[in-house]
Structure formats: structure tokens, C-alpha cells
Structure 1
């Protein structure tokens, strides 16, 4: 873990983090809290949001420097409110981390087409919608956008076709938007994690036994011999959001333990 930065103040940079109630989004929120950012957090679970806020406070961020928006970002009104609420309270947006996402598993032949609609709505459409609302404010601060994609974007895996499609679309959006916003000084990048220990696979329908076996299999499918942790992805997100990557835009940073390099022999 990186060293801590000075505590946030009323003049600190502002990070908006979606999907902040669990997994990579929560880890990213904690990382920015430790780095002294003011936070605007979004998620659908009010109780889980309260736990994230407490964790950020435990990390040293004053409660008055945290604001939250609870709701489904697929709804235009919620996305608009998140941006408006952030700017009303903090007067600026410096970083947008699009971390909210879902996974639907199963072969295409057996899938319901509504599953495709749902995955694309959450993983792509809602990201584009929120980003559009945030762009004017990011232009004024010459801010940064970090999209949380997946190694499933550039790589193909059976049984998760809709998820792979959604992340490939997000990767393309990242690169195209980077070109659009570069003249305004706004950088746009993505992280592409391998298997990370979060709740996303259980939410897709895996039992505890299946998930345990899946993580064990990860020792063979990742070159480093293990799956990853959300904090490791959060470190990469912060790097892409910070001035440490000031000459980097339109990039897909794989944080996958070598998963994307593996080829069966």
C-alpha cells in the first residue's frame, strides 16, 4: 500500500466514485480517501454505502468531506443528481471513476436476451450517460476519467459472452473518448483486472463452493499463481487518476496477474 498523503481540506481535489459500496469501487474510495481527496460516492445499497463512508472516515477523511448519492445510475435522473449534488457541495469534479458493473454468466444458447440488455445497460450505457453529465466539469478542471473494465474486454472467455461484449465496448469508449477530450486536457484511461476477490461472481449466481473452486483454479489461470485483490486494482486506478500518469491517455492498464497472457498448452 502506498504511503498516506496529508488529510483532505476544503480545497482538496474531488473524486466521484461509482459502485463504491463494494469490491473495486469501495477499495478505490478508500484509496482516494487515504490520498486526501474529497469524495462523492455512488451506489445502490444504502446500508453498504454507510459502511463505505465509515471506512473512509476510519482512513482519516472527515465526514463533511464525503457526500453520497444512493440510486441506480441507469436512471438518468440519478446520474444527473450525482453530478449536480457533487458540484453543489464541492464546486468541482477532478476525477470520475466508473466502477459500477455486473456480471451475468451462462452460455448464449440458454440466455435470455434481457440478460444482454441488463449487462449493457449497467456496464456501458450508464457509464456513458454519467460521463456525459460530468464532462463539462472535468473540462474546467482538466480532470481525469478512469473506467473499470476487465481482462474480459480484450480477451474472450466462454460462458460470459455478454460480459465480455460489454467490457470490450467500454474499452473502445475509453479510447475514443480519450481522443475527443485530449484537446481539453482531460485524460481518459481504464483498468482491466483479472479475477479479483469481490462479490461480483457470487452475485452472478455462483455458490460458495463454486466460487472457492473458481478462486483455486485462478492459481493456474494467472501467471503469478494467484487471483488479485481489490486494493491492488485501486492502486492502479489512483495512478491513472493522478499526476503520476500525466502523459498517459487512452490506455487499458491490465492488472491481471498475467491472466491475459496465458495460453493453454
Structure 2
């Protein structure tokens, strides 16, 4: 799959799935805008992406979202593909005192930020007949204990994907979601879990799957590139699951 001279924005590109997506797009000839909050991690990813545009930004802040689009246009001239990958985790339950506070924080990054960036990017995507891939989660389809906020954010992202796909279809812009199951990334570490707890959590995730495995970020990136490519020109409004059979077990 060649993305020669296509301009791709990848949010949450400093590690994990986002980093893998950015690296694979760059390997296929794309011009990549790397977006994340951690300058050092972004710089490390940038070394594997040729000559990308590095944008240090918090997608949950509207001014930063505007700057992401403006800087991409300023330095790369167009937008062909938007990958809304930035996301955070967080556990709570509805009985806890901080439930709404955690909910608001997760929704701001996982759902609202994707909506804002899509709104800002759409005029450019219409010009290029581009497409959007939203990185959702299996949590949108299967409730995970202690994750009502995260699950709700991803369910909302799936339905946003369908709604906007319908709106943008007449303009030749496709919109899809990819819904990973367990993937070995630093999302649990970023939630503050120590190393030994991370290993226990990933082992439990593996046991939940029919294939008895946890995915690596690169295989999710392969799926994203396929969905964003011309090979998927008939696919829009879809939520495509890659979960090692977690749903069916």
C-alpha cells in the first residue's frame, strides 16, 4: 500500500498504537504530522518517520486542536488522512465521589477531542477526498468492570464515526473506526500501575481472548493502513474489530 506524498495526522503518536501507525505510514511514503504531549517521546518516534512535522499539543484543548490543523497545513500543505488515536484510560465506578470528574477528563480526550479535530480537518479532507480513522476499543462493545467512563467514550466514538460517515459520504470522505482488544502498550503504565501490576493485567487480558494472545501495536497499525487505503474504498461507517476473539469467548 503506497501513501506516497499523502499527508497524515496521527494524534497520540508518541508511543503505542499511534507511534506504530505513524512509522508505518512514513514507511509507505506519507508525510506525517506527529501529535502528542511528550516532546521526548515524539522526538524518538520522529527518528523513525523520515522528516515529520512534530506538534506538541494536548488534543483536549481547543487552541491546541486548532494549532494542530494550522501547523499541518502550514508545513505540509494539505490533509489527506486524520487518525484520531489519542486516548486515555481511567477506572472508576458510578458510586465513587470522583466519578464525574474522571468521566469528564476521559470524554474530553477520547471523544470530544476527536469531534473537534474532525470538525477542523473536514474542509481540508473534502478538498483531498481523504478519510478518517478513529481508534476506538473493544470496550465500546463489551462492558469492562470499572470502566464506565472509558467504555462510554468509545461507544460514543463509534456512533460519532457512523454519523459523520453518513454526513461526509456525499463529499467523498470516508470515516471508519478500528476497535482493538488487548494491545501491549503503555496505557496501563500511564494510568500509574507499577510494572508487576501491568504484567498481571496483561496476563488476565490474554486469558480473556479466544486466541490466548495480546496484540502488538504494529498489527493494529497494519489494519489502520488498510482501512485508510484505496483497498478499502467501499468501507465507511464501520467499526472494525481486532480483538483476538475476546468478544466471542
Unpaired runs of 5+ in structure 1?
Answer: none
Tell me the distance in 2 between the aligned counterparts of 1:162 and 1:256. 20
Report the counterpart of residue 166 of structure 2 in structure 1.
179
Out of 78, 87, 92, the residue aligned to residue 106 of structure 1 is: 92
Out of 60, 79, 82, the residue aligned to residue 96 of structure 1 is: 82
Please tell me whether the aligned partners of residues 13 and 34 of structure 2 are also in contact (alpha carbons under 8 angstroms). yes
Find out whether 1:235 has 2:214 as its counterpart. Answer: no
Query: TM-score, length-normalised on structure 2?
Result: 0.96
Report the counterpart of residue 205 of structure 2 in structure 1.
218
Aligned length: 248
When structure 1 is superposed on structure 2, of 78-87 and 133-142 the one drifting more is 78-87
Report the counterpart of residue 26 of structure 1 in structure 2.
19
Tell me the distance in 1 between the aligned counterparts of 2:88 and 2:103. 11
When structure 1 is superposed on structure 2, of 158-167 and 84-93 the one drifting more is 84-93
Find out whether 1:169 has 2:130 as its counterpart. Answer: no
Give deviations 1:219-245, integer Å, cap 9, x for gaps: 321111111110011011111111010
Q: CA separation of 1:68/1:221 partners in 2, compared to 1, >3 Å: closer, same or farther?
A: same
Out of 69, 72, 80, the residue aligned to residue 55 of structure 2 is: 69
| Cα displacement (A) at 1:183 | 0.3
Find out whether 1:200 has 2:197 as its counterpart. Answer: no
Query: TM-score, length-normalised on structure 1?
Result: 0.90
CA RMSD of aligned residues (A): 1.3
Query: Deviating runs (4+, > 4 A) in structure 1?
Result: none
| Cα displacement (A) at 1:75 | 1.5
Tell me the distance in 2 between the aligned counterparts of 1:251 and 1:146. 10
Q: Secondary structure at the match of 1:109?
A: coil
Tell me the distance in 2 between the aligned counterparts of 1:218 and 1:156. 14
Report the counterpart of residue 29 of structure 2 in structure 1.
36
Unpaired runs of 5+ in structure 2?
Answer: none
Q: CA separation of 1:221/1:41 partners in 2, compared to 1, >3 Å: closer, same or farther?
A: same
Tell me the distance in 2 between the aligned counterparts of 1:219 and 1:141. 40
